[in-house]
């Protein structure tokens, strides 16, 4: 792993046993292994899509590739507890060979329980339909498979099922000089629908290099496609016959001055449309549009919201890939988060209906989840589902394996234990001259026991975050539980302490941390010291908006500690120094 930047974090604290509580965003420990599931399908896998069946089982679709140009559609089905479903395919897994560079980029569930996977193979759209047990449907295409060449190279990234059973696949069509939105519609047998576009195919040039990543089907049958043109958010809406809908945007298309790309779409009440994706150069980006394609000025700032998982003013690959709307109207976005300067994690944020970050969602107003051992490829969520009980399932990839997590989705705000008045201190310094950026935090409260930290040698991840007065997450870092990296263990336990160290300069600092110590002393105080040397920690540059809140949480139990700082003695371009309220 390439290591970039540098930093130092030192935390000294007296930690307390927090009262038992659960908060939205906490890992659901009844799912898989302490809230996480990792599945190796035998090669190099990437998960791209997921659906939730009415019986609570989860189906994931993606690709499995041993080498280039080989590739297969890959599906896996999980029971509600996260275990692979042996009634699906072989041991819960299905691999389908279609052609070279095959991948399933999207997945849809028909009303009859059949599964439609759409993606690419042999430089063409590729669609496969499976019955409920994972067997290819012989009544669809040729042995359950359909391929459609569109341009020199094409691939599908989204799929939708119309009420009449017709299948709409959406993606890109590229040539040597251009890339365009591409759509194809198929009847229930897999034949191209001649009533749609030209021979069942539609190609739309939005002037630039256009890439479609998402689709939504309106109740009236119109189709909305989202993606990017060059480096801007882009949308197109089509009538039921595939023609552009002139009542939407300019002649059926919308190019918004939001730099980035749309990765997911959701229809809202009243005909409004919500898009989520990656802001440029980095960050979760949400945009809301009125039914005519104009931006909704009542959402965020000018119709758009951007959020980060810390990192100060740096440019790192936080990006939303998936979107779901809860029954209460709150918005959940999932994707990749890189709170330090190294590998990425699953990242999940929740927003109020008006685009404000939901401050009740986890102590840090965001969730980052590593999948130890943390390898150089990291983890990224590409789908998010909401169960009928409100729990949230994020699906994606960790180091070439399918990965899933399930989080608590409802409940009260996190009840972090506050520091005793005036007994916490914070010093945060930006990078200046020969000094690395660093943070020192001290917390004093009621007496702890070592068990309050959980057990980082066997599954407990610890996260530190700094929130400013705007509610933004200005700094976040995680020390992953063992096995912390592909290099082996990082944690060591003693009678009253846990020590963390990443071995070797080239092993990398996992999200800003290279060393940590959690120790409970006989007098009831505890110390935490965390250090990054050759890697960075994304420390934000002061001045910071007040008040500033620092929180430390464990991901698998009801323990969280916080301190609030409203009256700093220094808050300038170089340093923030304060004692707690």
pLDDT at position 398 is 94
Peptide bond into 190 cis (omega under 30): no
Q: What is the dihedral of CA 267, 205, 188, 104, to 10 degrees?
A: -80
- Round to whole Å and give the CA distance between 312 and 213: 29
Which is it for the CA torsion 91, 97, 101, 102, positive or negative? negative
For 80, the 3-state DSSP assignment is coil
DSSP 131: -
DSSP 112: T
The per-residue pLDDT for range 55-112, each reduced to its tens digit, is 999 999 999 997 666 789 999 999 999 999 999 999 999 999 998 999 999 999 999 9
pLDDT at position 18 is 36
Residues 498, 520: contact at Cβ < 8 Å? no
The per-residue pLDDT for range 429-449, each reduced to its tens digit, is 876 666 666 777 887 777 667
DSSP 271: G
Mean per-residue pLDDT of the chain: 87
- DSSP-assigned states of every residue in 238-258: E-TTS-B-TTTTBTTEEEEEE
- Round to whole Å and give the CA distance between 314 and 268: 33
- DSSP-assigned states of every residue in 349-388: EEE-TTS-B-TTSSTTSSEEE--SSB-TT-EEEEEEEE-T
Peptide bond into 543 cis (omega under 30): yes
Query: What tokens does 346 get?
Result: 């699953």
pLDDT at position 1 is 16
DSSP 84: B
Residues 570, 424: contact at Cβ < 8 Å? no
Cα 421 to chain centroid distance, Å, stands at: 36
Residues 532, 511: contact at Cβ < 8 Å? no
Query: What tokens does 131 get?
Result: 């019955």
**Under-50 pLDDT residues of the chain:** 1-21, 312-315, 505-508, 532-534
- The region, left, alpha or beta by phi > 0 then psi within -120 to 50, assigned to residue 496 is alpha
| Residue 215, strand partner residues | 225
| Residue 351, strand partner residues | 331, 357
- Round to whole Å and give the CA distance between 372 and 379: 10
| Residue 396, strand partner residues | 381, 403
Query: What tokens does 414 get?
Result: 């996190």
Residues 395, 381: contact at Cβ < 8 Å? yes
Q: Which residues contact 425 (CB under 8 A, 6 or more apart)?
A: 440, 441, 442, 577, 578, 579, 580
- Round to whole Å and give the CA distance between 25 and 368: 10
Backbone angles phi, psi at 472, to 5 degrees: -75, 145
Q: Which residues contact 258 (CB under 8 A, 6 or more apart)?
A: 232, 233, 279, 285, 287, 304
Report in angstroms the alpha-carbon separations of 214 from 65, 182, 265, 267. Answer: 24, 12, 6, 12
């Amino acid at each position: 792993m390439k290591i970039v930047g540098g930093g130092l974090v030192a935390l000294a604290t007296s930690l307390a046993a927090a009262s038992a509580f659960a908060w939205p965003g906490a890992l659901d420990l009844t799912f898989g292994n302490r809230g996480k599931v990792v599945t190796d399908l035998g090669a190099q896998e990437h998960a791209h899509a997921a659906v939730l069946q009415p019986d609570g089982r989860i189906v994931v679709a993606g690709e499995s590739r041993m080498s280039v140009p080989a590739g297969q559609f890959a599906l896996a089905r999980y029971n509600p507890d996260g275990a692979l479903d042996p009634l699906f395919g072989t041991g819960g897994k299905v691999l389908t060979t279609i052609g070279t560079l095959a991948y399933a980029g999207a997945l849809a569930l028909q009303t009859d329980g059949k599964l439609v996977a759409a993606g690419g193979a042999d430089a063409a759209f590729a669609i496969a339909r499976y019955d409920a047990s994972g067997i290819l449907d012989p009544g669809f295409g040729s042995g359950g498979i359909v391929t459609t060449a569109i341009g020199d190279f094409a691939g599908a990234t989204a799929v939708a099922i119309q009420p009449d059973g017709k299948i709409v696949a959406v993606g890109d069509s590229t040539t040597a000089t251009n890339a365009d939105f591409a759509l194809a519609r198929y009847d229930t047998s897999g034949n191209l629908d001649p009533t749609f576009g030209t021979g069942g195919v539609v190609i739309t040039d939005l002037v630039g290099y256009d890439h479609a990543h998402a689709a939504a089907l309106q109740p009236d049958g119109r189709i909305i496609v989202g993606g990017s043109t060059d480096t801007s958010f882009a949308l197109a809406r089509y009538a039921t016959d595939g023609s552009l809908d002139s009542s939407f945007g300019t002649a059926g298309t919308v190019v918004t001055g939001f730099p980035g790309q749309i990765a997911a779409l959701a229809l809202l009440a009243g005909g409004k449309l919500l898009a989520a994706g990656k802001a440029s150069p980095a960050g979760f980006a949400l945009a809301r549009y009125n039914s005519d394609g104009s931006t909704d000025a009542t959402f965020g700032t000018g119709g758009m919201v951007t959020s980060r998982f810390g990192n100060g003013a740096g440019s790192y690959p936080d990006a939303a890939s998936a979107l779901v709307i809860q029954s209460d109207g709150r918005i959940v976005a999932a994707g990749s988060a890189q709170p330090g300067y190294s590998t990425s994690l699953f990242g999940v944020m929740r927003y109020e209906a008006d685009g404000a970050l939901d401050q009740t969602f986890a102590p840090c107003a965001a969730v980052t989840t590593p999948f130890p051992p943390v390898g150089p490829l990291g983890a990224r969520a590409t789908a998010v589902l909401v169960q009928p009980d409100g729990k949230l399932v994020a699906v994606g990839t960790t180091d070439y394996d399918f990965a899933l997590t399930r989080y608590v989705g409802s409940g009260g705000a996190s009840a972090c234990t506050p520091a005793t008045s005036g007994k916490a201190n914070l010093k945060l310094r930006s990078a200046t001259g020969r000094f690395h950026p660093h943070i020192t935090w001290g917390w004093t409260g009621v007496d702890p026991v070592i068990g309050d930290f959980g057990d980082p040698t066997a599954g407990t991840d610890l996260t530190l975050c700094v929130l400013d007065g705007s509610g933004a997450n200005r700094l976040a870092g995680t020390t992953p539980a063992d096995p912390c990296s592909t290099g082996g263990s990082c944690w060591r336990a003693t009678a009253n302490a846990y020590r963390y160290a990443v071995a070797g300069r080239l092993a990398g600092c996992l999200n800003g941390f290279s060393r940590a110590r959690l120790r409970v002393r006989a007098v009831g105080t505890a110390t935490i010291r965390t250090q990054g040397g050759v890697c960075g920690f994304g420390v934000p540059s002061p001045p910071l908006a007040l008040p500033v809140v620092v929180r430390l949480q464990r991901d698998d139990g009801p323990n969280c500690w916080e301190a609030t700082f409203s009256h700093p003695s220094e808050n300038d371009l170089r340093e923030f120094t304060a004692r707690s309220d």
